[in-house]
């Protein structure tokens, strides 16, 4: 499979496959409370079978061209990931998301990994609109959207019920021409 370097940080982006279930579980256990502040990612993965089922759901999505799951490894250890939560090539739209354990924050890993996914979606698959959806209180996630050159389309007030609380959701997006312009400007610096 692939292993894409994420800059000069000894980090790489790789696919998460069902055989990575134990490693995903260990990672989720290290960061479960932090990861679960705003998203339910991994909350059902409490054992190896649950982790394998999570990965398999995305392997099935990959097989039907409707999503995919990619891990971020830092110095050989799984510390987070990025995903196409939704991928609709026929409509030219997708949604990119992320998760990260606390020890890996502040290094730009998610931003660099999301750039890889977005660039592939736009250039290889012809995606026109890439979305990023975040709880309004999730400042780090919103910061990634900004660094990716996305624009805030709007707020869906109290649209996301999570952990018994209704959260506002911010919808961010970048269109293919905007992405190319932002990517090229980023490469010049």
In a 10 Å sphere around its CB, with 0-12 CB exposed, 13-18 middle and 19+ buried, how is residue 23 labelled? Answer: middle
Q: What is the pTM of this model?
A: 0.93
CB 10 within 8 A of CB 72: no
**Token match 């799984």: residue?**
78
For residue 60, give the 3-state DSSP assignment.
helix
169 backbone dihedrals φ, ψ, rounded to 5°: -115, 130
Which domains, from first to last, does the chain contain? 4-188 (3.40.630.30)
Chain segment 28-66, per-residue pLDDT in tens: 999 999 999 999 999 899 999 999 999 999 999 999 999
Chain segment 124-178, per-residue pLDDT in tens: 999 999 999 999 999 999 999 999 999 999 999 999 999 899 999 999 999 999 9
Nearest Cα to 78, choosing from 38, 26, 144? 26
In the beta sheet, which residues pair with residue 132? 172
């Amino acid at each position: 499979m692939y292993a894409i370097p994420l800059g000069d940080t000894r980090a790489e982006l790789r696919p998460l496959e069902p055989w990575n279930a134990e490693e995903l579980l260990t990672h989720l256990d290290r960061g479960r409370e932090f990861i679960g502040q705003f998203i339910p990612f991994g909350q059902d993965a409490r054992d190896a079978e649950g982790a394998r089922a999570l990965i398999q759901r995305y392997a099935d999505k990959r097989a039907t061209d409707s999503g995919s799951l990619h891990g971020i490894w830092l110095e050989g250890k799984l510390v987070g990931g990025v995903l196409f939560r939704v991928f609709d090539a026929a409509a030219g739209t997708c949604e990119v998301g992320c998760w990260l354990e606390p020890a890996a924050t502040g290094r730009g890993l998610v931003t660099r990994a999301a750039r890889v996914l977005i660039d592939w979606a736009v250039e290889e698959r012809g995606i026109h609109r890439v979305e990023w959806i975040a709880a309004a209180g999730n400042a780090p996630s919103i910061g990634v959207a900004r660094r990716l050159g996305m624009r805030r389309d709007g707020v869906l007030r109290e649209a996301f019920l999570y952990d018994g609380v209704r959260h506002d959701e911010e919808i961010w997006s970048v269109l293919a021409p905007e992405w190319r312009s932002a990517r090229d400007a980023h490469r010049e610096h």
